[in-house]
A and B are shown apart, each in its own frame.
Chain A
Amino acid sequence: MNRIYVFVLLLLLPLNALAITADEAMKKSQAAFLYPGADFKARVMMKLISKGGQERVREMMMLRKNFGQPGGEQKYFMYFFQPADVRNMTFMVYKYPGKDADRWLFVPAINMVRRIAAQDKRSSFVGSDFTYEDISGRNLEDDTHAVVKDEKIGDRDCTVIKSTPKAAEMEYSYKLSWIDKTTFLPMKEEYYDKKGELYRVFSADEIKDVKGHPTITKRSMKNLLSGHMTEVSFLKAEYNVGIEDSLFTERYLKQPPKRWIE
């Protein structure tokens, strides 16, 4: 009897293993990409580059803290250095799995903290080619994931996963992700439109080991339709820096602690 069970299980294994691999790979990728450490701090330099080569710079301090397991709640605190007209502004996000985030913006010129409407996760973050979802992650349950093939990116062995949104009204029909088999970081992502044409490409351009966590310290997102692209560099990236829960409050949004803003 037992032998028969084992036999049946063995027969099923490859199929199950494949199915689990896509979901699990994405889950591990999410954990490696967005959730390493208890908290994270980086000075973020964003270059918005137009088709004609004109550059605009967005520079901010990003502080992130996990509240729970990978895929769970996170809080973000951002302080803007550049451009000059948003200097000293701060921005705070409470991200929840499976429901809309809470967002607050502090406008220093009038000393005002306001909640801002945040329904559209596909909106551009500060005018860049990255969306809010690209920055803080997409709910994995919102897509179905399937392994397409194995492929190398440079000298890294990657699993290519196709993620198809369950909702019909998404602006892309599917996304291909090249997930590094060792680090589980996404090395490349391609977004395909309704006609199945490639229009948006993410690439991880530099990976560094930060406190034992492989971290993408340079990345870019290119829009093939507009020719516009955004390059992001993480400077002074650091994990487990001991960000207090109290940082994510109106008090510090209005008066960001100097020791976190450098």
Chain B
Amino acid sequence: MKRDILDRLVAAKEAALPVALVTDLNSGLQSLVYDDAVHGGFGLEPDLLDEVRRRIRQDRSGLLTDPQDEDGFKLFVHVHNPAMRLLIVGAVHIAQALAPVAALTGYDVTVIDPRGAFATEARFPGTKLSDLWPDEALAALKPDVRTAIVTLTHDPKLDDPALIAALRSPAFYVGALGSKRTHALRLDRLRDEGLSEAEVKRIRGPVGLSIGAVTPSEIAIAILAQITCVRRGENHPC
């Protein structure tokens, strides 16, 4: 790998730009494919370029081979997408366990809580914090299909606006802490706010896989296990 390619790849990852490193396994030549540009050792035909960009959107690394000719081109597409994001609403005790466990798993974590005493650097060392109201924070952070959102405050004034914003976003996971009874009351309130049945059904609640979790750390593990299951676990009940 040429230094120039490696440096550009590291820079793209640092800037959270989606990029694919395409390697011709026959020659060793490499090119970087961005959303709007290509840089490197060889050009790509328009249909191959389209396929590489499709792979970036699907987050799917793998080989591309010439369907016409077994000995033809053999390209390896290595997709480097920005980290998946986890937005935690409520800088509570469970969040103090969930934030580091999610970071260890590779998530880019932001903890949202407008109550100043909760979202402090001392309680969340090294974690991104937002003191905006949850609906404003979510509007600013623009959740996408690579974003998971969990509400943990137990306070409808904070959780409900967050859930409404979350359900109207393409976030791949929306979870809400609360017992079955709390959750049923919550769904009633959200229906009253005009959310459809299909929308409220997207909420995972009570949040987390059912593993008998009791302590804040165990609940954090159950939540991250459920997020992992939704992301990866085709054919697994989550």
Q: Do A and B come from one complex?
A: no
Q: Which residues of B contact A (CB under 8 A)?
A: none
